């Protein structure tokens, strides 16, 4: 057993009872290898019986040496935000559809994890975004985002108007459906759908991608990851800010959304031989004949 991973936290896909069997088989496998195993409270709710210690994510973060996340990229996004300040490394086992982040196959899970838990893995540090919504002198909400922070129109469907500042320097005003501010990890998510570039996940950069702008000259822009990005809402009948598409807050005219790099990074562990370009080629079907 690799002594670096004495205590392992297991996280399953929320509200997916059918995943309990695979997770409990993994827990049994880890215990036989000599690891102490913990299961998140939300995950335990999907198991009919659970003989392993159950804990909140915060409790896990304080003691776990590693978290193995069984689910899709959405599950891993949530866990990355929850554990980033605890500096717990993550391994993703893909039970979802696309799997840019969760790259361990369920079919080869045990053989792959056996190698990784013995020290044969590739570690990768990825930046996390920290965002706050300010109204007058009050901070309404502060939240992490691993993929992206999105300011957008809401249910009424009308364009919103906003100004963008980078490091207190005015960049532009824009009328659009919204703006995506994405980390390199999030550059293959909503930002890609909006015409943004793909950033290698280890780049020290953040990309800003307008959503359906009301001008042909609006283009994505990449800036240094240590920049402070400020979005001022000038006009909107109905607007909202989203964090990884999993948390949100309503916005009013005059609100400021401030985005910067978080203090800590997310540490992802990949199998030996992991190649980001192989992942892109497979997931985006590059080179396939139509």
| Encoded tokens for 240 | 């909202």
Distance CA 43, CA 14 (A): 6
Query: Residue 142 gets which letter from DSSP?
Result: E
| Encoded tokens for 88 | 């717990």
Query: Residue 198 gets which letter from DSSP?
Result: P
b/e burial code for range 144-177 (CB count within 10 A of at least 16 → b): bbbbbbbbbbbeeeebbbbebbbeeeeeeebbbb
Query: Residue 249 gets which letter from DSSP?
Result: E
Distance CA 272, CA 269 (A): 9
Distance CA 250, CA 255 (A): 10
Query: Quick one: residue 15, left, alpha or beta (phi over 0 = left, psi -120 to 50 = alpha)?
Result: left
Annotated catalytic, 73? yes
Distance CA 180, CA 157 (A): 17
The catalytically annotated residue of 4, 28, 65, 73 is 73
List the one residue out of 288, 83, 100 whose CA is nearest residue 189. Answer: 100
Distance CA 184, CA 266 (A): 12
Q: Which residues are catalytic?
A: 73
């Amino acid at each position: 057993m690799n002594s670096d991973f004495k205590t392992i936290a297991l996280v399953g896909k929320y509200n997916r009872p059918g995943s309990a069997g695979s997770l409990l088989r993994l827990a049994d496998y880890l215990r036989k290898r000599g690891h102490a195993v913990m299961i998140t409270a939300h995950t335990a709710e999907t198991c009919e019986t659970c003989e392993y210690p159950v804990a909140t994510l915060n409790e896990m973060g304080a003691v776990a040496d590693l978290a193995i996340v069984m689910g899709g990229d959405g599950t891993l996004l949530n866990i990355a935000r929850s554990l980033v300040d605890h500096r717990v490394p993550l391994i993703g086992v893909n039970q979802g559809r696309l799997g840019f982040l969760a790259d361990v196959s369920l079919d080869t899970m045990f053989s792959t994890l056996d190698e990784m838990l013995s020290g044969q893995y590739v570690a990768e540090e990825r930046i996390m975004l920290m965002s706050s919504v300010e109204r007058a002198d009050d901070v309404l909400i502060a939240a992490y985002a691993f993929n992206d922070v999105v300011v957008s129109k809401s249910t009424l469907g009308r364009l919103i108007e906003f100004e963008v500042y980078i490091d207190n320097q005015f960049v532009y005003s824009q009328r659009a459906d919204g703006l995506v501010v994405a980390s390199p990890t999030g550059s293959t998510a909503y930002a890609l759908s909006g015409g943004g570039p793909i950033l290698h996940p280890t780049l020290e950069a953040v990309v800003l991608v307008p959503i359906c702008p009301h001008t042909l000259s609006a283009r994505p822009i990449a800036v240094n990851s240590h920049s402070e990005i400020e979005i001022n809402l000038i006009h909107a009948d109905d607007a909202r800010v989203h964090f990884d598409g999993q948390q949100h807050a309503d916005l009013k005219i005059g609100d400021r959304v401030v985005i910067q790099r978080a203090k800590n990074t997310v540490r992802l562990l990949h199998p030996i031989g992991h190649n980001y370009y192989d992942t892109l080629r497979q997931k985006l079907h590059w080179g396939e004949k139509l």
